[in-house]
Amino acid sequence: MVDIFSVKNKVIVVTGGLGQLGTQFSQSLAQAGAKVAIYSRRPFDRNQIAEKFPDVADNIRVYVASVTDKEALQKATDLLVADWGVPDVLVNNAGIDSKPDGSAEQNAPFEDYPQRYWDEIIDTNLTGVMLTSQVIGSKMAKAGRGSIINVGSIYGMVSPNQSLYAYREERDGVPFVKAISYAASKSALLNLTRYLATYWGTKGVRTNLISFGGVKTASFDKEFIDAFLDRVPMRRQAEITEYNGVIRFLASDASSYMTGSNVVVDGGFTAW
């Protein structure tokens, strides 16, 4: 029987593939038989790969490239093509956000929000996806096949609810406002996705967006989690492994007629 969810032997680029979610995506795709090329800002040698991904190290290679550096992306992709051929799938996963424990400036009221934080986040989350898609997507289009998966967020669909963060000012006596840049960058991915879906529609390259909700991590304050979960119909955050399935679905032929979509995986957060 043909497994329509198979990714066996597909060459899959995961940008930021050593991060929290990227590690999960890389590992689960490699376990399913894909050849996973991680694009990372820092070098990561064979021993480190073997330590981080013990059972699937042979299926994982790390190429050094920042998603904001087109020349580095081109060099990494040339090396990858020489090693494994033109990628079948690109997961635009690398992303940054303002840090909840960062400086007061980073979490300042909108009126005072410094442009440099805006630039940094837009550069990585939006320009980075544009450049990586340009470099790798164009090779896919020439090859006549490919799937681009953009990693978005619920905050690309709805604005962050500032009342979730109100406890911070009460606790610390300093204003805390969830900044605009992450939400604006992820929202822009909606139409970048539609643009590429239509642009390469007849070239066999599909482009879809996944809008993820929050993942369970130890780093959030209890006050935040309690207020956040009140707004999630399933009353829980995602387990770290719960996004692997949708990535595999969009990487495989099971999604062969899907392009330009926004797949929402958020425990219902945006349903009310």
- The Cα 117–Cα 99 span in angstroms is 11
- The Cα 254–Cα 235 span in angstroms is 30
Counting contacts by CB under 6 A, is residue 143 touching ligand NAD? no
- Between 223 and 253, CB nearer to ligand NAD: 223
From candidates 34, 151, 179, 189, binder to ligand NAD by CB under 6 A:
151
Q: What is the DSSP letter of 32?
A: T
What is the x/- site pattern for ligand NAD, positions 46-85, by CB under 6 A? --------------------xxx-----------------
What is the x/- site pattern for ligand NAD, positions 205-224, by CB under 6 A? -------x-xx---------
From candidates 7, 14, 22, 62, binder to ligand NAD by CB under 6 A:
22
Q: How many residues bind ligand NAD (CB under 6 A)?
A: 23
Counting contacts by CB under 6 A, is residue 122 touching ligand NAD? no
Counting contacts by CB under 6 A, is residue 180 touching ligand NAD? no
Residue 75's Cβ-count burial label (10 Å; 0-12, 13-18, 19+) is: middle
As given in the structure block, the two tokens for residue 58 are 């042979």
Counting contacts by CB under 6 A, is residue 267 touching ligand NAD? no
Counting contacts by CB under 6 A, is residue 158 touching ligand NAD? no
Measuring CA to CA, which residue among 261, 72, 64 is closest to residue 150?
261
The SS3 of residue 140 is helix
- The Cα 217–Cα 236 span in angstroms is 12
- Between 147 and 237, CB nearer to ligand NAD: 237
- The Cα 69–Cα 259 span in angstroms is 27
Counting contacts by CB under 6 A, is residue 95 touching ligand NAD? yes
Categorise residue 16: left if φ over 0, alpha if ψ from -120 to 50, beta otherwise.
Answer: left
Segment lying near ligand NAD (by CB under 6 A), choices 12-20, 77-85, 169-177, 188-196: 12-20
- Between 31 and 68, CB nearer to ligand NAD: 68
As given in the structure block, the two tokens for residue 216 are 């369970």
Counting contacts by CB under 6 A, is residue 98 touching ligand NAD? no
- The Cα 22–Cα 28 span in angstroms is 10
- What letter represents residue 133's amino acid? S
Q: By the criterion CB under 6 A, which residues form the site for ligand NAD?
A: 15-16, 18-22, 39, 41, 66-68, 93-96, 124, 128, 151, 153, 212, 214-215
